[in-house]
Every structure is written in C-alpha cells, then in structure tokens.
Structure 1
C-alpha cells in the first residue's frame, strides 16, 4: 500500500510516497481504511527531525485520519463500515492504519471525511487547553493568537462552544475572514493587538490568552490579561527564540502562564480522549464546532502541503485525499 514517508529528516521537499507492508491490527486495535489525512504542524517538525517524538527513518507521517472501519475488537462499540476519525503521533498518512481503540472516534453523520480529518488533534488539544488547563467558564473572554490556522480556528470554535467571548488575532487582513467564519466575535491584527484588546474590553483585558504563535507578542499577551487571567502556551508557530517570562509580572498582576501538552497528558490518562470526544459532540450538534477545511491535496502533494504550512499560507485545516 502507499504511504507518505520521511526517509531523511531534511524537510518537506524530501517527503516521498513509498510502498509499505499492510498493517495488521492487534487485539486492542481498529483497522481503518483511510479516506483523508489531516496536515499538522507536528508533521512539519517530524519531516525536519525537530519534533519531541523522533522515530527512526523511514517512517510514515500523518497525525489525524478519517476513514471507515475494516475490523474492530469485540466490545469496542465500532462496526465494520462505520465512519471514524482517529489520531496518532505519526503513521496515519497511508492507505490503511491500525489504531488503538482509545484513539478512534465515531463520526457524526453531519461530519464529512474532510472535516473528520480536521477534528482529532486540533480540537482535542483546544478542548484540553480550555477545559482542563484554563478552567474556562461561560462568559469569560478568550484571545486566540494564530486564529486563522488549524489549531487557531479549533480553539476559536471550542471557546465559543463553551460559552466564551472570543477575540481572534490574525497576521493579515486576508486571514480576517477565516477567523470570522470560524465564529470569533471580534478579529484584530497582530500588529497593535494589545491596544485593540484593551479597547474591546473596556481596559479590563481578557481572561484567557491561547498562544499558538509565540514570538515577540508574548509580553503583550501577558499585559492583555485581566486579573486572574491565564496565558496558555500551545506552540511556537512563529519560530525563532522561545519567549521568556519574568515571574514578577505573574506575582504583581495575579496572572498565570500554563503549558498545554495534550499529547503528553493523554499518555498518562487512559480513556481521556474518549471523554473529550463526548464533550465535543454537543458542540458539533449545536453547530459551534464545524472544522473549516482549507486546501485539499492529493497524496503525492503531502510535501507541498507541509511547505505551505511552513510558509504560513495555510488557512483552516489542510487535508490530503487518499481515496473518495
């Protein structure tokens, strides 16, 4: 079968499609025929050998997947032919995959395969960030950096689904429409966002900052927090030097900086992803969670999809088509 593989960790340009052996499902695994694969920031880092997970090449890329069940263990609640989404650290960008039962989720009828491949990592990360790490309450205000990207739009939608007011921060006017369509109540440009947020909140600031971008906006994000505010560190899409914090700012203003390591947490919390999925389903049914799919690529163009992601051209979640 075909698989998108890293054979040398020299970046997206050297990602290739190879023939690899068919997977065999273990006793606690679901065998899935893949229809779509989501393109994720970890894929980009894996292609460069820069991710915290460092498999030995050659290995298959692909974190998020959507497809149909070929086989499932008894008692899993899944049936042959059922539409599902799934998630793994890597290895899903191939025609068939075997995944642990705990990381496979039945797709609601209204969710397409394209949308299904956009759901697991980004939306479960966003839900973990806002529910588990921020303790977000209805009526609070959330600022989302990088709000036009895959994780950004997911965070916007989950925050709205939890009853928050959302201020989206984007890097250009071209991305404003994407953040608005995702459900943000207000959208501001990254340049000058601190003053814009102060005006929008009447000088109070926001309760939560979801920072996916990092970079030189970190200090202004801290300054944008209301008393008892929480700054969530979700990633460093801007690249460059990782921001530093002077802890006296935290003490003087009664604010927190909280790390968001969804993948690390799920390793020590069996069953947690399924609990998250159950919290997301009402948001899907209500229409708050509706993954905005960006460009859809063919399997041979996975490397190009990663290049577009690296060069900040992607809006919404990029998806790769494996089969119709």
Structure 2
C-alpha cells in the first residue's frame, strides 16, 4: 500500500510517499481501507518533534480517518467488514490502509460523506468537548473564538451556534473574517487592529464574553482573558501561534473566572465511551443536516506535504482533507 512516511523530524517537504507493507489488525483492532483523512495542526507539530507524543521512527502521520472495515482482529466482534466507520487516532492515517483500536471506531450514518466524517473527528470533537464538557457553554451566553477562521475555529463557530450561544469570531484579516461570517458567526472582530478590546467590550455590552475558546496562545491570550466576563470560562485549547503565554493568575481572581485546559487526545484515551457517544452526536447532526463541516480544500494522498505546508503557513480557512484511492473490497 502507499503511505506518507516520516523518517526524521523536519518540515512537511521531508515527507515521502512510499510503498509499505499493509498493516495487520492486532487483537482488539480492525483494519480500515482509508477513504479520507483530516489534516490538522498537530500533524505539523508531530513531524517536527514538537508535539506531546513522539512516535518511534519511521511513522505515518494522520490522526483522524474515515474508511471501510476490511478485517477484524482477534477478539473483535464488530463492526462488520464493509461498514464505514470513523476514528480519532494518534498516527497512521496518511495511508491507504490503517489498523485502529476497535473501541475508537464510530459507525458513520448513511448520507455522511467520507470527507465530512474525516473532518469531524479531531477538530469538531475537540470543540464539542471544550464548549460543552469543559466550558459548560449555555444558551444565550457569548462565546469569543480566537483564531476563528481555521479548521478548529470554524468548528467552534458552528458548534457554538448549535449550542445556541452568541458567537464573536476573532481573526486577523478581512478575508478570514468573511470566512467566519460564512461559518455563522454573529459578530466579527479583527484583533490585528489596535483597540480591539474596546470593540469587544462594545459588542458584549460592557460585560465581556462568557466563554473564550483559545487554540492560538501567543500575544492575544492575556488581553482576551482581561476582557472576560465575571464567572467566565477561558478554554486553553492549543498554541498555534507558537508561544505559550505566561498568564498573571491574579486575573483569574479579579474576574472570578476559570482557566480550563482542553486536552482532547487524553480525553479520548481516558474516557473512550464518552468520546464515542460525543462523536456519534456529531455524525448525527451532519446526517440530520444541522451541521456541515467547513472543508476548504481536499488533496490526494501524494500531496500531503503541500496540505501540511498550507496549514502551517495559516493559509487555510476551514478544514483540509486527504482523499485516498479505493482499495479492494473486503474479504469474508
């Protein structure tokens, strides 16, 4: 089979598409013919050795897949071969075939396209876990989304609206803010301009946002926290800006607010059943027409490097997805 291989830490251009042996499902695993794989910011970090997890070399990047079950490992009773499933994994998705733990596989409802299912797992799973489970976002509350034009940001806009919040989308250019508007944001905030905190205060009637979703870090985190509402919840999701902020803890005291970590990968490992139920809700929303993942572009497998470079350069709005070629039908 063909797979994108990382032999040494480095930039996306160092990745190579190679012919490798097809994986065999170990006990407790299923073998998938990958139809689509989401491309995510953690993929750009893991190939550089900058992520929390460092798989042994060589490895195949790719953390969220949708595909067809081809075979079951020992001790696995289902899903049956021929079933379309999606799964959030650590690595291995940038390939034509992948073996995944059966406990991570969630059936994909009829009417949900493989690309949509692959785009949901990591970004939308992170967002739903963050906003509902960690941030307790309530109907009518105001949600501020930083880095709102990216894949996770647009997901936060959409899920925020599904949870009946008022969403303020913050991004750094007119084009990115237009993408936020199309994703459903109620209010738009250009935080590259001076005085953005004053505009945020006006947008929120002087109260500030109840929940702040921050996948960016860097220089915007502290001023955003200073703007939060009384009893607000600040969600630490990631550090796409590259800088981990040093936050004065007196700010949490002054606003009686909570600074809450969101580590979705650990959540999926520690609470797999809750995660499966949550992903099933997301796929159900897509099947019902209530949610449509924002996919800005899809790439063939042999252009994985280009997709990662586009993501690392912050040139993408919405999600990027790799599409693989069909494989033989399942046997037995």
TM-score range, shorter chain: over 0.9
Verify: 1:208 aligned to 2:215, yes or no.
no
The separation in 2 between residues aligned to 1:195 and 1:111, in whole angstroms, is 42
Taking a change above 3 Å as real, the CA distance of residues 102 and 194 of structure 1, as seen in their structure-2 partners, is farther
Find the residue that maps to 2:81 and give its secondary structure.
coil
Find the residue that maps to 2:244 and give its secondary structure.
coil
**Greater Cα shift, 278-287 or 141-150:** 278-287
The separation in 2 between residues aligned to 1:286 and 1:297, in whole angstroms, is 27
Verify: 1:195 aligned to 2:175, yes or no.
no
Matches within 5 A, 1:284-323: 284-323=286-325
Q: Where do 5+ consecutive residues of structure 2 fail to align?
A: 327-332
Matches within 5 A, 1:10-159: 10-72=10-72, 78-159=79-160
Taking a change above 3 Å as real, the CA distance of residues 76 and 204 of structure 1, as seen in their structure-2 partners, is farther
Kindly provide the CA deviation profile for residues 222-244 of structure 1, in whole angstroms up to 9, marking residues without a partner as x. 122110001101111111x3111
> Which residue among 217, 220, 224 is the counterpart of 1:221?
224
Find the residue that maps to 2:119 and give its secondary structure.
coil
Displacement of 1:281 after TM fit?
4.1
Kindly provide the CA deviation profile for residues 123-145 of structure 1, in whole angstroms up to 9, marking residues without a partner as x. 11111111111111121111111
Find the residue that maps to 1:118 and give its secondary structure.
helix
Q: Where do 5+ consecutive residues of structure 1 fail to align?
A: none
Displacement of 1:77 after TM fit?
5.4
The separation in 2 between residues aligned to 1:215 and 1:105, in whole angstroms, is 35
Task: Name the counterpart of 2:263.
Answer: 261
The separation in 2 between residues aligned to 1:51 and 1:145, in whole angstroms, is 21
Kindly provide the CA deviation profile for residues 152-195 of structure 1, in whole angstroms up to 9, marking residues without a partner as x. 11111111111211111112111122212222112221224322
Task: Name the counterpart of 2:240.
Answer: 237
Q: Give the conservation status (yes or no) of the 8 Å contact 2:28–2:76.
A: no
Q: Give the conservation status (yes or no) of the 8 Å contact 2:112–2:283.
A: no
Find the residue that maps to 1:24 and give its secondary structure.
coil
Q: Give the conservation status (yes or no) of the 8 Å contact 1:38–1:62.
A: yes
TM-score for both structures, normalised by structure 2: 0.92
Find the residue that maps to 2:291 and give its secondary structure.
coil
Taking a change above 3 Å as real, the CA distance of residues 207 and 213 of structure 1, as seen in their structure-2 partners, is same
**Greater Cα shift, 273-282 or 255-264:** 273-282
Displacement of 1:76 after TM fit?
5.5
The separation in 1 between residues aligned to 2:172 and 2:289, in whole angstroms, is 26
**Greater Cα shift, 206-215 or 175-184:** 175-184
The aligned length equals: 323
Kindly provide the CA deviation profile for residues 242-288 of structure 1, in whole angstroms up to 9, marking residues without a partner as x. 11111111111111211111111222223121121233245334544
Find the residue that maps to 1:167 and give its secondary structure.
strand
Task: Name the counterpart of 1:273.
Answer: 275
The separation in 1 between residues aligned to 2:184 and 2:302, in whole angstroms, is 33
The separation in 1 between residues aligned to 2:92 and 2:270, in whole angstroms, is 21
Q: Give the conservation status (yes or no) of the 8 Å contact 2:62–2:92.
A: yes
Taking a change above 3 Å as real, the CA distance of residues 287 and 146 of structure 1, as seen in their structure-2 partners, is farther
Find the residue that maps to 1:38 and give its secondary structure.
strand
Task: Name the counterpart of 1:9.
Answer: 9
TM-score for both structures, normalised by structure 1: 0.94
